[in-house]
């Protein structure tokens, strides 16, 4: 399965890339494992995304998977289609 990750703002600056291309094999394509792989491959993201005990933790970032916010997914469910993952940087400092 093909996974395309788009980074914005400070995340793009940190990784020095706008788009990341990854893939996963059948059976591995579970959201929390995909994010494990993303963070392992790009440890610069660790301040913002972490996976602990099959749970994804985020600090300020929003993640949108195929146009739908990640919170609406079961992150243990097997993914059956190519993914476009948008990772939005934190928007803090105001009210």
Partner 1 sequence: MTEHKILRVDLSNNTFEEEDIPPNIEEKYLGGKGLVAYYMYKEIKPRTDPYSPENKLFIFNGPLAFVYPTFTKIAIGAKSPLTGTFCDSYAGGSFAIELRRAGYTGIIVEGKSDKMVCLKITRDEKRLIECDNFRGKTTYEVGDYFTGYSILTIGPAGENLVRFAGIFIDMRSRPLSRPGVAGRGGLGAVMGSKNLKAIIVRGWMGLEDLGLRIDLEKRSQLINRYMEVLKKEVVPAIGLGSNLPVFKLSAEAKILPVKNFRLGVHDKWEELTEDGWRKIFVGRHTCPTCPVACGVKVREAGKQTGKIEYETVAMTGSNILVVDRPHVIELDEVLNALGLDTISAGNVAAFATELVERGILDYPLKWGDVEGYKRFYYDIAYRRGVGDIFAEGVARAADHFNAHEYAVHIKGLEIPAYDPRGVVGMALAYATADRGGDHLRAWTVVAEISMRPSLEDLVKLVIHLQNRNAALWTLIACDNIVGGFADPEAGTKLYVEMLNTLGYEYDYERFIRLGERIYNLTRLINNLDGIYRDRDALPQRFHEKREDTGWRIAPDDFRRMLDLYYRYRGWDERGAPTESLLKDLGILR
Report the interface residues with partner 1, using CB under 8 A.
8-10, 50, 55-64, 67-72, 86, 88-95
Residue 21 beta carbon to partner 1: minimum distance, rounded to whole angstroms: 19
CB nearer to partner 1: give 22 or 50.
50
Residue 6 beta carbon to partner 1: minimum distance, rounded to whole angstroms: 9
Of 21, 15, 7, nearest in space to 62 by CA: 7
| 9 within 8 A of 91, measured Cβ to Cβ | no
CB nearer to partner 1: give 34 or 56.
56
For the chain, the residue count is 95
**Sign of torsion over alpha carbons 34, 35, 36, 38:** positive
| 48 within 8 A of 59, measured Cβ to Cβ | yes
CB nearer to partner 1: give 17 or 25.
17
Residue 66 beta carbon to partner 1: minimum distance, rounded to whole angstroms: 8
């Amino acid at each position: 399965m093909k996974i395309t990750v788009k980074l914005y703002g400070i995340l793009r600056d940190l990784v020095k890339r706008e788009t990341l291309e990854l893939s996963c094999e059948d059976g591995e394509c579970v959201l929390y494992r995909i994010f494990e792989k993303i963070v392992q491959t790009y440890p610069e993201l660790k301040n913002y995304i972490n996976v602990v005990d099959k749970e994804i933790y985020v600090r300020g970032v929003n993640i949108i998977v195929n146009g739908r916010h990640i919170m609406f997914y079961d992150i243990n469910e097997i993914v059956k289609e190519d993914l476009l993952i948008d990772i939005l940087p934190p928007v803090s400092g105001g009210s």
